[in-house]
Structures are given as C-alpha cells and as structure tokens.
C-alpha cells in the first residue's frame, strides 16, 4: 500500500510527469461509455457532477456493509452471507487487521482505512468513475499490499483529482500506459484473486487523492497521528460512489461491546 516497489505499466518505465499547465486528457481515443449505466450524482467537492459506478453490478439490494472495527473477528466469507457484494467503510479504525510490517510506521500502527472497499467475485469488472487518463499503474508484491493497481487522473470541478483502484488482476494493467485516455464507465480492470491482489478476498480498494502521487501508490490506511491530514488529502470516496452507507465520523468499536475508542 505505501512502501512497495515500483513496477511499470506495460513497457513504460516511469510514471508520466507533467506540470499542472501541461496536463491534457490524453491523445488516444477513448473507449465508448458502457450502455444503460445509471450515473451517480456527485457530492461535496464534486457536487453537480455525474459519475459512472466503479462496480456497476453493486446494487442497493445485493451488498453487505462490513464492520471491521474489531478486525477480522467473526468475519464471514462473502459466499456465506447471502449477498453477492460487500462494502468496507472509509474512515474506519481496523485494529488487529493489518499485522504485516508494511503497516508499521514511525507515527504508529497504520490502521485507519481511508478508501472504500467493494468486494465481489474474482473477475468482477471495475470501471473508470469519470473521463480522464491513466496516471500510473504497477504491482505491489507484498502480502496484504495492493497487488496490481491503477491510478487515474481527472479534472473535476476545476480540481485535479487522482483515483486509485487496488487489488486488481494482473490482466488489468496489461496495455496500460501513463496518458492513456479513459472514458467514464469504461472497463478499467477486474478484481484479482489472492495470488495477484495482495492475498485478500477479491475486492477493489477505491481511493481519491487531492495530492498527485509520485507513482502508482497511496497509503490506504494511516496512523492516528496522520489522520487529520489524511482526511484532507484523501476525501471520502462516497462523494463519487454515492451514499453506500450511513455515518461520516471515525468508525470505532463501541466501548459497551468491548471495543476501543479514541
């Protein structure tokens, strides 16, 4: 997620670097938008815009909202829940879930999740949320890292925004190169299996950034000391994904049920 080696998209050996006044929407023709896709009304910074769903198969009656405030205690695989999709929350403290050294930092354990997870079956298509270009892509090989990941770049309401799609299949980054034009609703990739997605159950980690990343990487979880800055730099993905669940504050385990709190 954060401390991982650079692995280039296709034959490109470095991310595309552009000055703010040099950015374009790319020179390659964009693929057509998927037909009959119901668009999502943006909110917050992106009020007034419409976005394509990142996972169009996610529907109001077919997903479970997960609670990881106690880590993976009593976690049930999606196949045993009666739902075809699940959602993991933004701004959720997830203790005892990220136990690899990857998640250690000088500021403390990185356990506050600052993306939204959408889970489904291996191979489920993942779509670009808006018109834009590929910023970078690569492979983070560490256990519980992103696996194959794509970062896209967009100009939204006059703001430059970067979107990360993590835990994808290896096929997802084939043929991708910085500057490749993307159409809103275009298939960007597919949810990867454990051997290619960081050893996670199949899902996409979707994250927004107001700060341009140097490569294909962003910190998907942060330490408490970096929490305030992270909320500013990585806004709530529901501003693009729509109101997938209720609640806006830091999600923590209730004290009455034996959990911790800030």
Q: H or E stretch including 238? A: helix 238-241
Give the pLDDT score at 27: 34
DSSP characters for 54-105?
SSTT--TTSEEE---EEEETT---GGGTT-SEEEE-SSEE-TTT--SGGG--
Give the pLDDT score at 24: 41
Domains annotated on the chain, with CATH: 25-74+82-243 (2.70.70.10)
What sign does the dihedral 134-140-2-200 (CA atoms) show? positive
Parallel, antiparallel or unpaired: strands 221-222 and 92-93: unpaired
Q: How far apart are CA 236 and CA 231, in angstroms?
A: 8
Give the pLDDT score at 104: 64
The model carries a pTM of 0.84
Question: What are the φ and ψ backbone dihedral angles of 158, each rounded to 5 degrees?
Answer: 80, 5
Whether the pLDDT of residue 238 is over 90: the answer is: yes
Give the pLDDT score at 100: 56
Per mean pLDDT, which range of 165-174, 191-200, 203-212 is the poorest?
A: 191-200
Whether the pLDDT of residue 261 is over 80: the answer is: no
| Contact status, residue 37 vs residue 238, Cβ threshold 8 Å | no
Q: How far apart are CA 102 and CA 121, in angstroms?
A: 26
Per mean pLDDT, which range of 14-23, 79-88, 94-103 is the poorest?
A: 14-23
Per mean pLDDT, which range of 104-113, 208-217, 228-237 is the poorest?
A: 104-113
Whether the pLDDT of residue 142 is over 90: the answer is: no
CB atoms within 10 A of CB 41: 12
Average pLDDT over residues 41-68: 97
Give the pLDDT score at 18: 41
């Amino acid at each position: 997620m954060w401390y991982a080696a650079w692995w280039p998209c296709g034959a490109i050996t470095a991310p595309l670097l552009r000055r703010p006044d040099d950015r374009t929407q790319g020179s390659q023709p964009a693929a057509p938008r998927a037909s009959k896709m119901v668009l999502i009304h943006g909110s917050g910074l992106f009020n007034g815009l419409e976005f394509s769903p990142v996972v169009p198969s996610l529907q109001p009656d077919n997903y479970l909202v997960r609670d990881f405030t106690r880590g993976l205690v009593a976690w049930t695989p999606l196949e045993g829940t009666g739902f075809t999709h699940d959602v993991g929350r933004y701004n959720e403290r997830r203790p005892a879930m990220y136990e690899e050294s990857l998640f250690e930092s000088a500021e403390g354990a990185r356990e506050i999740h600052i993306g939204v997870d959408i889970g489904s079956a291996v191979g489920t298509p993942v779509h670009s949320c808006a018109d834009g270009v590929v910023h970078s892509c690569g492979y983070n090989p560490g256990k519980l890292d992103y696996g194959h990941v794509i970062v896209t770049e967009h100009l939204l309401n006059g703001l430059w925004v970067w979107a990360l799609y993590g835990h994808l299949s290896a096929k997802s980054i084939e043929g991708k190169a910085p500057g490749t034009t993307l159409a809103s609703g275009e298939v960007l990739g597919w949810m990867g299996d454990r051997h290619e997605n960081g050893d996670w159950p199949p899902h996409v980690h979707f994250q927004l950034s107001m700060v341009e990343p140097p490569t294909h990487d962003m910190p998907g979880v942060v330490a408490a000391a970096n929490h305030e800055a992270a909320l500013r730099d990585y806004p709530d993905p529901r501003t693009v994904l729509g109101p997938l669940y209720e609640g806006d504050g830091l999600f923590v385990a209730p004290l009455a049920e034996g959990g911790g709190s800030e």
